[in-house]
């Protein structure tokens, strides 16, 4: 995994795990790899993995079972919230950029609709 060295690594690992959960590479109830294995896979420090995981546990995204490891929560509401939160963060970035360009909200919708149509065409070509 490529990291942006200007952003805390633990934060980027959290985003990575969010994504793995949202796209169902990590399904509800799945066990995460051991901490040291994750550190090796992502080529980061064990402490960094531990910090990311403990924040995910505090957020209720992961459940820590003593002696057995960390598991993705099976709580549907928490997972739905997570997806909304992550999508909204991306939308917020786009909204702010377009607002900086003084695009009105209703025009944003039009631009986005056109753009989606264009991407669909490109995908079919």
Contacting another protein within 21-50 (CB under 8 A): 36, 39-40, 43-48
Cα separation, 68 vs 49, whole angstroms: 17
Closer residue to another protein (CB): 12 or 73: 12
- Stretch of 6-14, 80-88, 98-106, 111-119 contacting another protein, by CB under 8 A: 6-14
By CB under 8 A, residue 58 contacts another protein: no
By CB under 8 A, residue 10 contacts another protein: yes
DSSP 2-63: ---TTS-HHHHHHHHHHHHHHTTSS-TTPBPPPHHHHHHHHT--HHHHHHHHHHHHHTTSEE
Cα separation, 65 vs 102, whole angstroms: 50
User: Min. distance of Cβ 124 from another protein in angstroms?
Assistant: 39
Residues of this chain that bind another protein (CB under 8 A)? 3, 5-10, 36, 39-40, 43-48
């Amino acid at each position: 995994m490529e990291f942006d060295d200007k952003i805390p690594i633990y934060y980027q690992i959290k985003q990575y795990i969010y994504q793995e959960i949202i796209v169902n590479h990590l399904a509800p109830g799945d066990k995460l790899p051991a901490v040291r294995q994750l550190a090796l896979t992502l080529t980061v420090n064990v402490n960094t993995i531990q910090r990311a995981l403990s924040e995910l546990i505090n957020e209720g995204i992961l459940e820590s079972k003593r002696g057995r490891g960390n598991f993705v929560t099976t709580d549907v509401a928490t997972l739905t919230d997570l997806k909304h939160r992550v999508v909204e963060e991306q939308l917020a970035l786009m909204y702010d950029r377009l607002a900086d360009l003084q695009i009105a909200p209703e025009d944003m919708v039009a631009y986005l609709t056109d753009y989606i149509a264009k991407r669909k065409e490109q995908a079919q070509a």
